[in-house]
Copies of this chain bind each other. A is one copy, B any other.
Amino acid sequence: MKLQPLGDRVVVTPTEDAESRTPSGLVIPDTAKEKPQVGEVIAVGPGARDDDGERIAMDVSVGDKVLYSKFAGTEVKLDSGEHLVLSERDILAIVN
């Protein structure tokens, strides 16, 4: 069972260790500020359309590790675990 996102949406698998300091070094602060989280992109939509109805190319690809707002998107549980469907606008950065 797979999700094919529409428009500029992507499906992300949250990375387990996103909220504690890890050997790879990423730590998410626990303050009153907007909270980011790290995940891996597993599906990418075809892109939103511009004013002329043309698709706008997506900036993320399947396999990218991305930083996104923890409060964005919609949670979905599949057999493969918990995923998130979110708009590319809610992705802050690609983590290298």
Q: Which residues of A contact B (CB under 8 A)?
A: 1-7, 9, 11, 21, 24-29, 31, 33-36, 43, 45-46, 49-54, 56-57, 59-60, 67, 69, 73-80, 82, 85, 88-89, 91-96
Contacts and interface: CB of A to CB of B under 8 A. Distances in A.
A1 B29 contact: no
A49 B76 CA distance: 30
A77 B9 contact: no
B75 A33 contact: yes
Given A3-B94, A11-B93, A31-B75, 9 more contacts: A1-B25, A1-B26, A2-B95, A6-B88, A6-B93, A26-B77, A27-B78, A43-B93, A46-B59
B25 A92 contact: no
Contacts of A79: 25
A66 to B, nearest CB: 8
